[in-house]
Structure 1
């Protein structure tokens, strides 16, 4: 389907075409699209008059293009597909293809705001059983609204950026009379999927589920690093603060909504029925398969199709009070977990808060992350025409604390 030689199993074929920002040989950053093992330089195509470019692509972030709206997104995607499938364009386009191995992938967009949800029933149930073993696993509001918290946009970083172990107040033992200050002792991961807003919304005008495609540009992978001991002490009663704000990692490629249309599946039945503002008239579960690796060794394979609350419902709830969208707003799903241990999306669940150490394939064991550990989350989805859509990966290596 394309004149460019692309490995059929790469996940970065003509049905994907995710956007990112890259830099080569210390030059200025620019916007590109992944195709096979290459990056198609959109700034170069714009300079050559091969694509429409209103200052969108010779930029260090996707925000300008994301704000242009759905008509511009669709037109650009159609034009790229034409350039890569019509052999008559080969000589003109080939000089603008750069090996991925020769570029530095940067954070793809400037993050305006960051919201993290709590949308997996399996994850929420496991967490409830860990911390409230004698009570109901789910809080009374959980099946009525997508629970979430407002995170810190300034510490969202691109895959590959090292993660320094945070410091803060924590009780080393629950029975301690008072907290102590020091490095996090229960550093964790959270395998998540996020979406980024492109088109802003007006203040006091909620965005209904049916308008999701008009505002959302695409999806990324997210690792919401978590300091569980800091979280247990500080989250009484207002919720996460320092335990979540030190680092959040995202993948470098933003997969357009259009590339994931073939991956849409029915989401789990919701009982009780959600309030009218949360109801959707089309299936918005996504058949994404995630994989978590610690030091290159697989430890879990969660499925995103089991998420109770869907992305359009998350967006509808985040704006129903009149809060407006801004270009670059990032919304993360919360930990993606499934019904079995092999599908749990964080170490809190995988080790049952440290009570059941996780044995890695090489025989080493973990309760929580150690300095030097490298965590990778990757994901794929079915695409159109039998293709595979690769969402790339998000990776981070733990560095010692600076307490």
Structure 2
């Protein structure tokens, strides 16, 4: 699809995408909804006030009010069918041969006021997040980590292939890309054979390359979401870095799992790629050799989204090192399966709830989604440019995660960046 707006062929914000986010500018300080397109974004509030949605059939005046909100929650709550209508309409508006030329000719504000260069906006968290659950759906990661600590024969726990394992994270410390975070302090064992901990800054600070999914509509308390209906509850996706304090985690996780090792920060990319934009990239994920419980059976194999993912590490010297390239095809469980399992007890999801995929890794060197895996628990440091090396992250290191679906120039569907810089402990 060609646009009257110049869009680079390698832009992740092509017409095939239309991701939604929340921004402010020097002109308006109250957060408002925007759509990324090329190297610009569309201020949907200004566009709406100027009659930009006047030709959008199926959108009521009351539904238009969602563009006055400071988060995407009200827009998300409209549901998949309305997201589809609005996304398709905006694609038509930006097409080179738009069927709505009168909207462009009479709406001078579209180009003068509603279109803003991305370099002039500040991104904010796109959703008001009520709850955050992080899954463990990357089987290769689970196997790699399990092998480090228990050996290959006992790498996966007996339940792994049967149930989508997860833990409840901390929603209040989910932060938008570009937000720095401090190295956490906590209890750690001074040496492996010790039995008494010391309190000190984390020495094994790590990353976890993940995808995140936002819920658009919840379910009534006590009524599970069927795996076959779960797609209608999915709003869209973001990149995620679930920062991890490995030494703190090792001491605290028995018997109830991660706590302070995870709650100090989880970074997400600012633009939510709608579920419909990634629908064409569905494919098969990792095979599951066990017989699933009926509530997890989808009846299809093309249930995983094919997204190319990479991680870069920028050091204090300014060198940017690509440390991993992998694919979201390295997931065992699909998002509908995760939703179905999360709600099988009757647990009620809500608009804006965030689910993480768990770390996405391959088996080959340079395809793992955490430094713990790549450095073999810190024993084999990553070799970087200018003679630097990393067993784990150092202060002032910056991690940058990128992701993109599709290979056709002009039709790429990406997320922008998910980045964060580690500051010294407080």
Q: Could you state the TM-score of these two structures normalised by the residue count of structure 1?
A: 0.97
Cα distance in 2 for residues equivalent to 1:399 and 1:310: 35
1:102 is matched with 120
Are the equivalent residues in 2 in contact too, given 1:16–1:383 (CA < 8 A)? no
Cα distance in 1 for residues equivalent to 2:285 and 2:152: 30
Q: CA RMSD in A?
A: 1.5
Kindly state the Cα deviation for residue 385 of structure 1 after the two structures are TM-superposed.
9.2
1:291 is matched with 310
Cα distance in 1 for residues equivalent to 2:84 and 2:195: 59
Kindly state the Cα deviation for residue 264 of structure 1 after the two structures are TM-superposed.
0.5
Pick aligned residue for 1:83 from 90, 93, 114: 93
> Cα gap change, 1:172/1:149 in structure 2, threshold over 3 Å: closer, same or farther?
same
Pick aligned residue for 2:156 from 118, 128, 138: 138
1:378 is matched with 402
Deviations for 1:78-132, whole angstroms, at most 9, x for unmatched residues?
2211211217133423231100001101111111100001111110011111111
Deviations for 1:122-178, whole angstroms, at most 9, x for unmatched residues?
100111111112751100000001111000000000000001101111112111231
Cα distance in 2 for residues equivalent to 1:304 and 1:37: 26
2:275 is matched with 257
Pick aligned residue for 2:184 from 145, 149, 166: 166
1:305 is matched with 329
The answer on 1:56 being equivalent to 2:66 is: yes
The answer on 1:246 being equivalent to 2:299 is: no
Are the equivalent residues in 1 in contact too, given 2:9–2:410 (CA < 8 A)? no
| Equivalent position SS for 1:343 | coil
2:13 is matched with 12
Are the equivalent residues in 2 in contact too, given 1:29–1:58 (CA < 8 A)? no
Kindly state the Cα deviation for residue 273 of structure 1 after the two structures are TM-superposed.
2.3
| Equivalent position SS for 2:86 | helix
Are the equivalent residues in 2 in contact too, given 1:285–1:307 (CA < 8 A)? yes
2:56 is matched with none
Cα distance in 1 for residues equivalent to 2:13 and 2:104: 19
Stretch deviating more after TM superposition (46-55 or 206-215): 46-55
Kindly state the Cα deviation for residue 60 of structure 1 after the two structures are TM-superposed.
1.9
Cα distance in 1 for residues equivalent to 2:297 and 2:157: 21
| Equivalent position SS for 1:33 | strand
Cα distance in 2 for residues equivalent to 1:150 and 1:348: 22
Are the equivalent residues in 2 in contact too, given 1:21–1:30 (CA < 8 A)? yes
Residues 260-339 of structure 1 mapped to structure 2, 5 A cutoff:
260-282=278-300, 283-295=302-314, 296-339=320-363
Cα distance in 2 for residues equivalent to 1:123 and 1:142: 12
1:45 is matched with 47
> Cα gap change, 1:385/1:262 in structure 2, threshold over 3 Å: closer, same or farther?
farther
Cα distance in 2 for residues equivalent to 1:187 and 1:227: 5
Stretch deviating more after TM superposition (147-156 or 166-175): 166-175
The answer on 1:365 being equivalent to 2:389 is: yes
| Equivalent position SS for 1:342 | coil
Kindly state the Cα deviation for residue 341 of structure 1 after the two structures are TM-superposed.
1.6
| Equivalent position SS for 2:322 | strand
1:233 is matched with 251
Pick aligned residue for 1:200 from 207, 218, 238: 218
Cα distance in 2 for residues equivalent to 1:384 and 1:201: 37
2:413 is matched with 389
> Cα gap change, 1:158/1:134 in structure 2, threshold over 3 Å: closer, same or farther?
closer
Identify unmatched segments of 5+ residues in structure 1.
none
Are the equivalent residues in 1 in contact too, given 2:225–2:340 (CA < 8 A)? yes
The answer on 1:68 being equivalent to 2:90 is: no
Stretch deviating more after TM superposition (154-163 or 261-270): 261-270
Cα distance in 2 for residues equivalent to 1:384 and 1:197: 29
| Equivalent position SS for 2:194 | coil
Runs of 4+ in 1 over 4 A off after TM superposition: 383-386
Kindly state the Cα deviation for residue 59 of structure 1 after the two structures are TM-superposed.
2.2
Stretch deviating more after TM superposition (30-39 or 266-275): 266-275
Cα distance in 2 for residues equivalent to 1:218 and 1:278: 21
Are the equivalent residues in 1 in contact too, given 2:146–2:152 (CA < 8 A)? no
2:317 is matched with none
> Cα gap change, 1:10/1:29 in structure 2, threshold over 3 Å: closer, same or farther?
same
Cα distance in 2 for residues equivalent to 1:354 and 1:161: 26
